C-alpha cells in the first residue's frame, strides 16, 4: 500500500511542477474589523481527555517525536517560501486529518517564538471542539453567516502559543460561505496581521465536498493525510488530480499505522521522504 501511495504522489509531483498555484484572496473583499486578541477566552482542557484522544500533551506522548519532525519540515518549507497559511485535508472522511491538524498545531505552538492559529473550516461537520472534549459552541459559521465578532469566538486552550477558531454549528452551505467575500477578507486578515503566526486550517475531505477547492485561493500550501490500509491508490490519485493547480502540496502524512496507533517511525520515514521530494 505504501509503495502504491508513494508512486501516485511521485507521478502527481512531476505534473504539478508545471502548474501555477491559484491566486490570492479577491482584491475587493471588504476587510473585517481588526481582531482584538485580548478578548480571547481561556478554556481548561483535562489532560486525561487529551491523552484519550491521542492529542499531544507535552508530557511524553508516544507519538510526539513524529509530530516534532513533521513540524520541523513543514516550518522549513513554509519559511523558505514566505508562506504561513497551511491547509490539512484527506481524500475521504475518517482518515485522521483533524487529529493531524490539531497535533501539528500544538507541536508548532510549542516553539518559543512561534504563534499558531488553528481554524476549523470543516463547516459541514466541524470536529475540533469535539476532539478537545468541549461542547459545540459558536465559531466560524456564526462569524460568516451571522456577523458575530471574530474575537468573541477565539479560544485559548493553554497549550503553548496556540489559539483556536472553532467551526461553530454545521452548515450545508459550507462551500459557498468558504468562497464568500467575507471569508476572503477574514483570510487576508488572519494571514497578514502577524508575521510570526502560522495558520493551520482543518479542511473537509477533498473527494466528498467542493469546500477545499472553494477555499484553496486562501492557502499557501496543503498537507494530504492518508490512512494506512484504508486510503486506496485510486482515491489518492483522484484527490491529487482534483487539487492540481490549487495550493502547493507539501506532502502526505501516513496516519493510523498498525492497530489504530500512530507509528512514529513509519510516519517519520514516510513524511520525511515525501516532503523533501515534493519541492
In terms of Cβ atoms closer than 10 Å to its own Cβ (0-12, 13-18, 19+), residue 26 is middle
For 69, the enclosing helix (H) or strand (E) is: helix 64-81
Nearest CA to 8 out of 177, 163, 172, 226 is that of 226
- pLDDT for 31 equals 42
- Give the DSSP letter of residue 231: S
Q: Where are the alpha helices (DSSP H) in 193-279?
A: 211-215, 233-243, 264-276
pLDDT tens sequence for the chain (279 residues)? 545 545 555 554 555 444 433 333 333 334 444 445 556 788 888 888 888 888 886 556 677 888 999 999 999 999 999 999 999 999 999 999 999 999 999 999 998 888 999 999 999 999 999 999 888 899 999 999 999 999 899 999 988 899 999 999 999 999 999 999 999 999 999 998 887 899 999 999 999 889 999 999 999 999 999 998 889 889 999 999 999 888 889 989 988 665 434 344 433 433 333 443 332
**Dist. CA 42–CA 44, nearest whole Å:** 7
**Residue with C-alpha cell 505552538?**
109
Q: Give SS3 for 141.
A: helix
Quote the pLDDT of residue 10.
55
Rounded Cα–Cα distance for residues 104 and 136 (Å): 22
With cell 490539531, the residue in question is 102
Domains and CATH numbers, the chain: 2-12+38-114+123-276 (3.40.50.300)
pTM: 0.80
126 Cβ contact partners less than 8 Å away, ≥ 6 residues apart:
120, 136, 139, 140, 141, 166, 167, 168, 169, 170
Residue-level pLDDT at 38: 58
CA 96 from chain centre, in angstroms, equals 11
pLDDT at 1: 52
Res 30: pLDDT:
45
Compute CA distances 225 → 101, 135, 140, 273, whole Å. Answer: 9, 26, 23, 15
Residues whose CB is less than 8 angstroms from the CB of residue 255 and which lie 6 or more positions away in sequence, other chains included: 95, 96, 99, 100, 225, 226, 227, 228, 262, 267
pLDDT of residue 255: 81
Amino acid at each position: 500500500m505504501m509503495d502504491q501511495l508513494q508512486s501516485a504522489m511521485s507521478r502527481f509531483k512531476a505534473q504539478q511542477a508545471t502548474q501555477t498555484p491559484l491566486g490570492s484572496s479577491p482584491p475587493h473583499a471588504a476587510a473585517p474589523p481588526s481582531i482584538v486578541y485580548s478578548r480571547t477566552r481561556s478554556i481548561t482542557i483535562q489532560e486525561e481527555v487529551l491523552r484519550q484522544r491521542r492529542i499531544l500533551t507535552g508530557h511524553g506522548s508516544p507519538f510526539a517525536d513524529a509530530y516534532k519532525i513533521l513540524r520541523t519540515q513543514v516550518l522549513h518549507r513554509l519559511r523558505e517560501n514566505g508562506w504561513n497559511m497551511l491547509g490539512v485535508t484527506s481524500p475521504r472522511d475518517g482518515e485522521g486529518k483533524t487529529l493531524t491538524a490539531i497535533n501539528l498545531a500544538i507541536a508548532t505552538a510549542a516553539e518559543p517564538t512561534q504563534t499558531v492559529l488553528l481554524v476549523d473550516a470543516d463547516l459541514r461537520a466541524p470536529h475540533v471542539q469535539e476532539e478537545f472534549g468541549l461542547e459545540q459552541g459558536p465559531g466560524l459559521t456564526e462569524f460568516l453567516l451571522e456577523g458575530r465578532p471574530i474575537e468573541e469566538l477565539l479560544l485559548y486552550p493553554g497549550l503553548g502559543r496556540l489559539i483556536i477558531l472553532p467551526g461553530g454549528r454545521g452548515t450545508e452551505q459550507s462551500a459557498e460561505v468558504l468562497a464568500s467575500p467575507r471569508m476572503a477578507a477574514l483570510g487576508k486578515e488572519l494571514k497578514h496581521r502577524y508575521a510570526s503566526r502560522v495558520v493551520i486550517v482543518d479542511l473537509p475531505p477533498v473527494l466528498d465536498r467542493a469546500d477545499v477547492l472553494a477555499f484553496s485561493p486562501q492557502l499557501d500550501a496543503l498537507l494530504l493525510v492518508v490512512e494506512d490500509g484504508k486510503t486506496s491508490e485510486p482515491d489518492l490519485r483522484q484527490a491529487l488530480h482534483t487539487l492540481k493547480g490549487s495550493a502547493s502540496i507539501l506532502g502526505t502524512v501516513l496516519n493510523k499505522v498498525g492497530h489504530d496507533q500512530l507509528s512514529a517511525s513509519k510516519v517519520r520515514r514516510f513524511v520525511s521522504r515525501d516532503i523533501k521530494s515534493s519541492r
